[in-house]
Structure 1
Amino acid sequence: MNEFRPLAEGRRPRIAVLDDYMGVAHRLADWSKLTNRADVTFISEALPGGDATVARLRPYDAICLLRERSPMPAELLRQLPELRAIAATGRLNRTLDYKAAHDLGIAVMTTSGSGNGIYATVELAWGLIISLMRHIPEESMAMRNGAWQTRLGNALYGRTLGLIGLGKLGTRMVQIARAFGMEVLAWSPNLTPERATAAGAVYATKEDLLRQSDIVSLHLVLGPTTRGIIGSDDLALLHPNAILINTARGPLVDNEALLAALRDGKLRAAGIDVYDAEPLPADAPLRALPNALLTPHLGYSVQETFSAFYRETVENLEGWLDGNPPRLAQI
């Protein structure tokens, strides 16, 4: 099918804004451009999955996705006969089946980027690094409980940062590490020594990087070749005082192996922002580990990013209502 599904006649279009966990989407763009012409519902809770998700989404003509929080596989799309448009944020959504959407006549629109929040994930990674190196969460809690100076931290100067992945965000990590006076090693499946040098890092094999680094930070795209790229054998190469940081994607790291390394003291600590299942279940074992500093996928979640996403989402849906959807995804 090459044409988009037409809007149903005789009723106002229905639009669902998904994944609005913090309840902020309504104030970050001028949604009145749409509410004058359509019914817009903001959904703050995560979709339950399965038949419950189908039932929740079935009434809507258009849905808005915030990055990859709610997967849209072909099986789900085929069960949504009213769906005419998907307004996805970012340039690429790896949990959305673009071909299935196209074949079903669903217009998929994207946004141009993340605005001034492009490096927000890098900033969070450094927040986790510094918090763990200086025991900031523990010392803050100790202060609230009346204590004073309970733990001795470590400086970053002279330490070695190992980067697994040296793309746009990894390269930004190098720049900040150099400002702290750190040595930087880098490795990824496709990285060359020349590219590492150009980014200001030193190329190392994966094994050497893990053995030599005080802090290892992941900045890879999740795919068939990178899923589980850090497993039990890799974690065993880290020295016991090392720190692991993951602000990229949860499945890059074998979760059970990470749990074991943290529980057994084979890894000093981990700063984790991304998980195999999101939102992370309340009873997830990782939540109970004192040497795991956890944040709820805050990497790109800053006002600058969301404002850019939702502003262009409104523009996209306005064009779609006019019969001319902009920024159509290319499959």
Structure 2
Amino acid sequence: MTDRKSVLVVVPVHLGGRETGTALSAGLADRAEVTVVESTDEDPAALARAQAVVTALAPVTAGQIAAAPRLEFVQCTSHGFDYIDLDAARRHGVTVANISSTGAEQQDVAEHTFALMLALAKQIIPAHTALAAADWATPRLQPALTELSGKTLGLVGFGAIGQQVARRAVAFDMAVRYTARHGYPEAEQRYGARRVELEELLRTADYVSLHLPLTPETRRLLDRDRLALLKPTAFLVNTSRGAIVDQEALADALEAARLAGAGLDVFDPEPPTAALRLLRTPNTVLTPHIAGVTRETLVRIALAAIDNTAAYLEGRPPRDTVG
């Protein structure tokens, strides 16, 4: 009993926490002593004795790492690390891992991307709002409706999720362009995709969809100058991280009709405050970071996190570690 390691599972309720927490607890219970909380600060004693933390988008700060002298491993149930203080983790010798190679969220994020694109192209939200107000005529006279077929989809980032989006774009008869640090010849051939520079992609794409992690290099990647490159008929979709886009510049572009619309599942900060202008700008479809939290994905995420944390507990090298 004394040699069993302690694991703290941090899953906020708004992310399907009860179900996910129960699955993680059950999956790890035969390997470790597991405590499930909704916030990293909820149980300081459990944090202090934890050798591993499994977190679903709940921040792990430098102060929390310092308050966990036994901590050796942090498992993120996401593709990113941006809510973890990686510098503090390195200083304290803590290994951090995510689930980027498991494919747990690929299907759902790709589907959600297309849900946002279709909602924008077909003006689903304004049409519903008008019809609910007994306005039958206006949506039927809407000149802004458009097709996906024949349009160019520009993917900023062409990893696993970006390629799943490309796969769906082929079914909609869209031309695919992408920008990435290196080429993907096999995927290019499979989806008829072509690699281009970011500026060319922004100038030519009818839909621009973001699929890359938040890093110092990608923070505000789409700043005011780059947003200005987009065609006034183009749509921007972001299911990656909110801070990749300059939100004020995006609101300016939408209000001035320099951009046809935006579909956003992510914001900076999260949850957004009432002051966020994008909540009131025209031609937006906004969802509260739900692209990767379907029932099916929550199961896959839990299994992936269990497997990787079990590897750490059993002395095997975990996958998808940072650095």
Same fold (TM over 0.5): yes
Measure the CA separation in 1 of the matches of 2:42 and 2:15.
Answer: 19
Paired residues of 1:230 and 1:252 also in contact (CA < 8 A): yes
Paired residues of 2:153 and 2:208 also in contact (CA < 8 A): yes
Matched, 1:96 2:88: no
Q: Partner residue of 1:128?
A: 116
Q: Secondary structure in 2 aligned to 1:154?
A: coil
CA-to-partner distance for each residue in 1:275-312, whole Å, 9 max, x for gaps? 22112224322212232211111122122221122245
Shift in Å, 1:120: 1.1
Q: Partner residue of 2:54?
A: 64
Q: CA RMSD in A?
A: 3.6
Shift in Å, 1:157: 1.4
Picking from 29, 36, 59, the partner of 2:23 is: 29
Counterpart amino acid of residue 267 in structure 2? Y
Measure the CA separation in 1 of the matches of 2:95 and 2:148.
Answer: 48
Structure 2 regions of 5+ residues with no counterpart?
none
Matched, 1:229 2:217: no
Shift in Å, 1:133: 0.4
Q: Partner residue of 1:50?
A: none
Q: Partner residue of 1:281?
A: 273
Change in Cα spacing, 1:231 to 1:30, as seen in structure 2 (3 Å) is closer
Q: Give the number of equivalent residue pairs.
A: 309
Paired residues of 2:106 and 2:164 also in contact (CA < 8 A): no
Q: Partner residue of 2:152?
A: 160
CA-to-partner distance for each residue in 1:163-189, whole Å, 9 max, x for gaps? 22222222222222222122222223x
Shift in Å, 1:205: 3.0
Paired residues of 2:152 and 2:204 also in contact (CA < 8 A): yes
Paired residues of 2:213 and 2:240 also in contact (CA < 8 A): yes
Task: Trace 1:103-142 onto structure 2 (pairs within 5 A).
Answer: 104=92, 117-142=105-130
Deviates more, 1:155-164 or 1:90-99: 90-99
Counterpart amino acid of residue 148 in structure 2? L
Shift in Å, 1:86: 4.0
Counterpart amino acid of residue 120 in structure 1? D
Counterpart amino acid of residue 212 in structure 1? T
Structure 1 regions of 5+ residues with no counterpart?
48-52
TM score, norm. by length of structure 1: 0.77
Shift in Å, 1:125: 0.5
Measure the CA separation in 2 of the matches of 1:14 and 1:205.
Answer: 44
Task: Trace 1:1-331 onto structure 2 (pairs within 5 A).
Answer: 15-26=8-19, 29=23, 31=25, 40-43=35-38, 55-60=41-46, 61-62=49-50, 63-66=53-56, 69-81=57-69, 86-90=74-78, 93-97=81-85, 100-101=88-89, 104=92, 117-151=105-139, 152=142, 153-188=145-180, 190-192=181-183, 197-198=188-189, 199-311=191-303, 313=305, 324=314, 328=318
CA-to-partner distance for each residue in 1:176-234, whole Å, 9 max, x for gaps? 2222122222223x244957743521233323322222111112222222222211111
Measure the CA separation in 2 of the matches of 1:325 and 1:116.
Answer: 24
CA-to-partner distance for each residue in 1:124-172, whole Å, 9 max, x for gaps? 1000000000011121222222222523311111112122222222222
Q: Secondary structure in 2 aligned to 1:150?
A: helix
Deviates more, 1:309-318 or 1:231-240: 309-318
Counterpart amino acid of residue 29 in structure 1? A
**Share of identical aligned residues, percent?**
30
Shift in Å, 1:261: 0.9
Measure the CA separation in 2 of the matches of 1:257 and 1:311.
Answer: 39
Measure the CA separation in 2 of the matches of 1:192 and 1:309.
Answer: 28
Shift in Å, 1:116: 5.6
Change in Cα spacing, 1:247 to 1:159, as seen in structure 2 (3 Å) is same
Counterpart amino acid of residue 93 in structure 1? F
CA-to-partner distance for each residue in 1:51-109, whole Å, 9 max, x for gaps? xx6x534222444301xx22324343103457576443257634435675576576767
Measure the CA separation in 2 of the matches of 1:316 and 1:208.
Answer: 39
Paired residues of 2:179 and 2:197 also in contact (CA < 8 A): yes
Paired residues of 2:175 and 2:192 also in contact (CA < 8 A): no
Measure the CA separation in 2 of the matches of 1:111 and 1:213.
Answer: 30
